[in-house]
Structure 1
């Protein structure tokens, strides 16, 4: 039995859970619809409508998840409990399946799909339609543990797939107590739930989060690059607006209206203005992070991250004192300034003794801030190998942090700009 699918698709996840309940082994065949694989001639022969999921059972081809679900139960079910033969019970299951298709799934697509095309959700009216739809489902579940009677049916599988999709985009299900109660129970009793949720998490991790966020930056500035790496890690889309500080563009009246301190990076997130890269990084994690791993909520873990972020400002000052002084003097700083820089890197080497990351046992925003700063040092030919822990950390994190390539381009621009100012 071949099953043509994509893990993130709600209909596909419905069938995967149902197959688990029936004890069926599906021969999964991934169809990348983003790459247009559903339009290949060999797939069109199976399904001229080129939709997923599509099931091919010993030469018999069928699509539309709810039709597939009914077929699987009727052919392979040990009894009719998942899709009753009693006309009235079956009618209620069918009604819920059509409700899932025409109301739940439809309302999701109307409100949420525009985000991935335009960066903005649907209209207030579209959101109200979702709320109305959940209100109906809440009514159906009054005094009920299952959506279509007194036991689990294919309708629960389909609606569980849809409701969990709303959950992953953080729609507040708790406003609908009957739905929430059913949902918490359904997660426990529905076979295949774990795979369903893992697929949603994977989909969310791969999906860039469109925002109405302007990002004022210049790639030669390490602080700007650290924010870019944080955004890349979170999957947040930035509307980049270059401000070339070497040309004094940060002093333009239009920019000063946004940030009177005329600093970059600066973000404007749907009207909310914030500057200072480390504050921006923490804000992005707290607003858009899927969890708190990049900026822990635990007071002690967060304190270490914060300490390293403040320490990064010391790295910047030491780099500026020795290298960036060339912008005003045409030459590097003194030997004493260089020793000061080595002392700072030495402290970082001590922090990293026995650690893969600068602030604990996992990647945090402190790694990205310090990675941007250390990238400047490497591009400026500072001998990092004298500091083996830092060297090891740098070579490790540059391979795991999203956005490192753009960061490295900026670091090389720093070296080029500094070299151009040397006498």
Structure 2
């Protein structure tokens, strides 16, 4: 990185620059069934350079990647080419984040371990210890343990570095009979090892895989309450949050404004949504964003009412925000009041696997293809497949109910279930 910075300082025709270095060390295990097939370690460094050029009252930018094989002459040519390209970009002027120095590690139980191999094996053991139904097994498993270092330096004197540890698991739970074999893809990301939780989640997926094998398409359409799991709840909250991003506001593409009630006075659980920098257990946690901007937790929605916007340094400046929040990576949704006992008072459809939750704020739509679900009538669970769901998003937000217990799933922390009322299922 040092030689790149020296070349940038000497370069003519540029008015600013940013260098981002992402270093990743990994230890990886690859299993077929329970047999360890491959062990791999990696050590990579990715360096990205962005140059800024003032011209005609605008600020242009252009970037390129630096590779280890490149000579100083190669890099100098890349800088010159990027400067020319930046002259063709017409962004409104803004100031890069100011001088600041920072260096820290994100909290994880991996911070002080010296042997990633033992840690990775403990994860694999937890997966294989999961209780499986007869005919159920783990067809394939991949375990990745990471140490990631992000270093951002810019021409305004900013120099920040953060180190994070995390694990990523990909598993293929499978249910097999003499006639057929079905699979479900499962992935997990975390920063702290909880073997019991891993085994429990894998056991649930193994049971879901058997249910997928047994599932039948309902003979008639229905209007029913639909229960979503954390992955889909997180997706919905991401869509709602992005509408409140500085970028959406500046482009006049946002649907909701500060002060508006997105639940329109409904009688469901109220949305309390906060964008956060750090959430314990989430591998998405950061102290600063790609620009080097310090991240500041921001409550976007309280009691269903929009309280603030959030976003990156550039668009925050365009909107006149004195201290932009930065591009916050994590979503925290407040818990609700729904209990399992209350849930079971009415029939509902619990989604296990979707092709992808589809949310369209502007057309007031939420839906998706349901690959596997359980129809629960209070007496038994019946696996179903081959259906799609659809509803008006505004109606869902008015009446939605949230579980009273929370967990972390990727960049989302919040209720483990969300109930949507009166959804059309075909």
Kindly indicate which of the two structures has a greater share of residues assigned to helix: 1
**Highest RCO, 1 vs 2 (Cα 8 Å, sep ≥ 6):** 2
TM above 0.5, one fold? no
The structure number with the bigger radius of gyration is: 1
Identify, as 1 or 2, the structure richer in strand: 2
